[in-house]
C-alpha cells in the first residue's frame, strides 16, 4: 500500500508555489500564493509597519492564530527586519503563535527550499518548532497550543490579530461566537486594535459582530473580492458593514453563526440592531 503524504508542493492557478492539503483537497493561499497573501491580507492591512514605528513604550503584541506553515508570522518578521536593518527606531515586537497541529510546519520545513523567501527565517522556525522561545533584541516569538486555552498562558493583550485557522468546514469550532468573544477579550484596549481574516461568510461576520467587534470589508485577495477586517473601534474600519449588509442579513438563508448555541434569528437581529455599528446614526452615515 502506497503511503500518501498529508501535504504536497503544488502550483496555484496563478503559478505561485503553495501547499496542497491532501486531506481536504484545498490548496493553501490559492491562487496568489502564501507570500503574497500573507503580506497583503495580514501585514499590510494591519498597518504593521506604521505601528512598529509609532513612538510608544509598550511592545506591539501580535497574535498569530493558526500558525500553519508560518507564512503570516514570517511576513511580520520580514517587515520587522527590513525596518531594523534600515536603522529605524522600533517598538519591541512580541509574536504569540497558536497551533495545535505542527504537521504542516514539519512538512514546510522539510520543503523550505521550495520557498526561497522563507529560507532566511528557517532558524527562527526551527526554534519555534521545538516549542522554544525565539528571542533577540526587540523581538520575542513564542508558540502556544490551542487558542481556546489562552487563559492558561497569561499573555499580554494583542494590538494585531492574524486570524488564520483552517476553514470553517475543517475547523468549525474556531469560527463561533465563543471563539471571537475570546479574541475580542484579549485585544488591547489601550490602542486601536484589529483582527484580520480571509473569510467573508455571513455566519463568520455575524459571529464577529455578536462578540462585540466592529466589522468591515477587508481588501481583496486572489479570487476573493474582499476579506474581513475587525476592529475594537468603529474608526478603525475603512469600509464598515452598514445598513445594506444588515438588510441582506435579514434575507439570508445562512445567517446563523456556527456551533452549538441558543441564538434565534429574532434574537440575533435584535442584538445586531443594538450594536453601536448599526444603532448609532452618526456611524451609519456613508455606510
Domain at 207, CATH number: 3.40.50.150
Please report which confidence band the pLDDT of residue 287 belongs to, taking 50, 70 and 90 as the band edges.
low
- Return all residues near 34 (Cβ < 8 A) that are at least 6 apart: 16, 18, 19, 28, 69, 71, 115
Please report which confidence band the pLDDT of residue 24 belongs to, taking 50, 70 and 90 as the band edges.
confident
Residue 7 covered by a domain: no
For residues 239-256, give the mean pLDDT.
92
Residue 253 covered by a domain: yes
- Return all residues near 183 (Cβ < 8 A) that are at least 6 apart: 63, 65, 147, 161, 163, 195, 211, 213, 230
- Cβ atoms of residues 92 and 34 within 8 Å: no
Q: Is the pLDDT of residue 286 over 70?
A: no
Structure pTM? Answer: 0.95
- Cβ atoms of residues 38 and 121 within 8 Å: no
For residues 184-201, give the mean pLDDT.
96
- Return all residues near 170 (Cβ < 8 A) that are at least 6 apart: 24
* Whole-number average pLDDT of the chain: 93
Residue 22 covered by a domain: no
Residue 12 covered by a domain: no
Q: Is the pLDDT of residue 1 over 50?
A: no
- Return all residues near 243 (Cβ < 8 A) that are at least 6 apart: 278, 284, 287
Write the DSSP symbol of residue 163: E
Q: Is the pLDDT of residue 190 over 60?
A: yes
For residues 1-18, give the mean pLDDT.
85
Residue 62 covered by a domain: yes
Residues of the chain with pLDDT > 70: what percent?
97
Number of structural domains (the chain) is: 1
State the residue range of the domain holding 107: 30-284
Choice between 161 and 223, residue whose per-residue pLDDT is larger: 161
Q: What is the pLDDT of residues 201-215, one digit of tens each?
A: 999 999 999 999 999
pLDDT for the residue 254: 83
Choice between 260 and 121, residue whose per-residue pLDDT is larger: 121
For residues 176-196, give the mean pLDDT.
96
pLDDT for the residue 61: 98
Please report which confidence band the pLDDT of residue 220 belongs to, taking 50, 70 and 90 as the band edges.
confident
Residue 47 covered by a domain: yes
Residue 9 covered by a domain: no
pLDDT for the residue 28: 87
Q: Is 179 helix (H, G, I), strand (E, B) or coil?
A: helix
Q: What is the pLDDT of residues 89-111, one digit of tens each?
A: 999 999 999 999 999 999 999 99
Residues of the chain with pLDDT > 90: what percent?
83
Choice between 71 and 262, residue whose per-residue pLDDT is larger: 71
Residue 115 covered by a domain: yes
Which residue has 511576513 as its cell numbers? 75
Please report which confidence band the pLDDT of residue 282 belongs to, taking 50, 70 and 90 as the band edges.
low
pLDDT for the residue 3: 55
pLDDT for the residue 284: 56
Choice between 28 and 143, residue whose per-residue pLDDT is larger: 143
pLDDT for the residue 270: 94
Q: Is the pLDDT of residue 33 over 80?
A: yes
Amino acid at each position: 500500500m502506497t503511503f500518501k503524504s498529508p501535504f504536497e508542493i503544488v502550483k496555484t492557478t496563478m503559478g505561485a508555489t503553495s501547499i496542497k492539503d491532501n486531506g481536504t483537497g484545498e490548496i493553501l493561499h490559492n491562487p496568489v500564493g502564501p507570500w503574497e497573501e500573507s503580506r497583503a491580507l495580514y501585514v499590510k492591512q494591519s498597518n504593521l509597519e506604521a505601528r512598529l514605528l509609532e513612538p510608544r513604550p509598550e511592545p506591539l503584541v501580535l497574535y498569530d492564530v493558526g500558525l500553519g506553515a508560518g507564512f503570516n508570522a514570517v511576513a511580520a518578521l520580514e517587515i520587522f527586519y527590513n525596518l531594523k536593518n534600515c536603522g529605524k527606531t522600533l517598538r519591541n515586537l512580541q509574536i504569540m503563535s497558536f497551533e495545535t497541529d505542527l504537521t504542516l510546519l514539519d512538512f514546510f520545513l522539510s520543503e523550505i527550499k521550495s520557498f526561497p523567501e522563507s529560507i532566511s527565517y528557517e532558524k527562527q522556525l526551527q526554534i519555534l518548532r521545538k516549542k522554544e522561545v525565539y528571542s533577540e533584541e526587540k523581538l520575542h516569538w513564542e508558540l502556544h497550543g490551542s487558542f481556546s486555552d489562552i487563559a492558561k498562558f497569561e499573555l499580554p493583550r494583542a494590538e494585531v490579530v492574524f486570524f488564520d485557522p483552517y476553514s470553517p468546514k475543517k475547523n468549525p469550532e474556531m469560527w463561533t461566537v465563543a471563539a471571537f468573544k475570546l479574541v475580542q477579550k484579549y485585544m488591547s484596549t489601550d490602542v486601536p486594535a484589529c483582527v484580520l481574516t480571509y473569510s467573508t461568510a455571513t455566519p463568520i461576520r455575524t459571529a464577529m459582530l455578536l462578540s462585540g467587534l466592529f466589522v468591515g470589508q477587508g481588501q481583496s485577495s486572489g479570487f476573493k473580492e474582499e476579506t474581513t477586517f475587525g476592529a475594537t473601534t468603529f474608526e478603525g474600519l475603512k469600509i464598515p458593514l452598514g445598513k445594506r449588509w444588515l438588510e441582506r442579513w435579514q434575507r439570508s438563508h445562512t445567517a446563523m453563526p456556527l456551533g452549538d448555541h441558543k441564538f434565534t434569528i429574532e434574537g440575533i437581529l435584535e442584538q445586531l440592531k443594538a450594536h453601536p455599528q448599526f444603532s448609532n446614526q452618526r456611524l451609519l452615515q456613508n455606510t
